[in-house]
Amino acid sequence: MVQTSQPKQEEEYGYDLFPGRNTGQHKGRSFTESLLTFNHKCQVMLQLATETSPYAKLLLSAMKSSGCKVFKERHFSCEDCDGTVSGGFDADSSQIVLCQNNIHQQSHMNRVVTHELIHAFDHCRAHVDWFNNLKHLACSEIRAANLSGDCSFQTEFSRFNFGLKQHQQACVRGRALRSILAVRKINREEAEKIVDEVFDTCFNDHAPFGRIPHDKKDAGFAGRDYENRGRYYANL
């Protein structure tokens, strides 16, 4: 999920899903409040995700190498969100929003962090026009759904989606479509057309993983390749 901001057009770009954003106020909280709230749980799960998820660790490395080192306090924000949305990337403030009221399991946090980091990574390495170019938005959503584990067999199974042959592709299409429809006022047909146009390119763009990481073992192999990239490209 991606948002960009334009003054007075918050609803048009999905900002209404994140009522805590852009209020112009810094919300203070007492120490006790912080300990016992969703906010604290969110912070703890975020810390664990960045330290133990091989997906997140690879993305953080790749972003650092691309000149976008991620600082938790600056680039992540745990907030309350509307509906069932799990997170978002705010390109305007270069921040990843985590929906503390909708993320309750570590595995879910790991996936959301990975998903949003993929948007941040795209923002860092390419001129992504989040605001005006729906193809760019669609492409990043396809990549995020494909590479974050959002569409892994286990995750889909847990949602009672029991597809098998090429189901990953159907899942990626569906989730990218949903993400676009959630933040932009276009009709389903238009959104489907855009996803179709960019699907082949974006489904096959596996940067920085070099492969679709289906599980932690795949992500581990991808991490190894990433660490080895100097030697690899020097000896091609």
Partner 1 sequence: MDRSGKEAWKPPRACDDYWSEFRHCKSLKNCFHHYYTYGTSPSCQQWKEDFHNCREWEKHRATESKEALQRSERNRVAEQRKFTPVWELRQSPPRDWHMPLNQEKPQDS
Instruction: Please report where in the chains the tokens 């879910």 appear, as a residue.
Output: 108
Q: What is the DSSP letter of 11?
A: G
Closest to partner 1 by CB, 48 vs 61, is 61
- C-alpha dist (Å) from residue 173 to 154, 179, 202: 18, 10, 11
81 makes contact with partner 1 (CB under 8 A): no
Contact 40, 126 (CB under 8 A): no
Of 46-54, 79-87, 99-107, 167-175, which segment contacts partner 1 by CB under 8 A?
167-175
In whole angstroms, the minimum distance from the beta carbon of 16 to partner 1 comes to 15
- Active-site positions read 116
Residue 195 sits in the site that holds partner 1 (CB under 8 A): no
User: Which of 204, 202, 22 has the alpha carbon at shortest distance from 126?
Assistant: 202
Beta-ladder partners of 90: 3, 95
Of 82 and 215, nearer to partner 1 (C-beta) is 215
Structure-block tokens of residue 24: 């112009």
Candidates 29-37, 97-105, 162-170, 182-190: pick the segment binding partner 1 (CB under 8 A). 162-170
Total of chain residues touching partner 1, rule CB under 8 A: 54
Q: Which of 48, 181, 182, 212 binds partner 1 (CB under 8 A)?
A: 212
Query: Is residue 221 within the footprint of partner 1 (CB under 8 A)?
Result: yes
Residue 185 interacts with partner 1 (CB under 8 A): yes or no: no
- Sole window of 40-48, 78-86, 96-104, 225-233 interacting with partner 1 (rule: CB under 8 A): 225-233
Of 4, 222, 213, whose CA–CA distance to 119 is shortest? Answer: 4
Q: Minimal CA–CA distance to 115: which of 85, 93, 92, 135?
A: 85
Rounded CA-CA distance 63/153 in Å is: 27
Alpha-carbon distances, residue 207 vs 101, 147, 213, 226 (angstroms): 31, 9, 11, 10
What x-and-dash track marks residues 123-152 binding partner 1 by CB under 8 A? xxxxxxx-----xx--x-------------
Residue ranges in contact with partner 1 by CB under 8 A: 7-8, 22, 24-26, 66-69, 74, 93-95, 122-129, 135-136, 139, 153, 164-169, 198, 200-202, 204-206, 210, 212, 214-215, 217-218, 221, 224, 228, 231-236
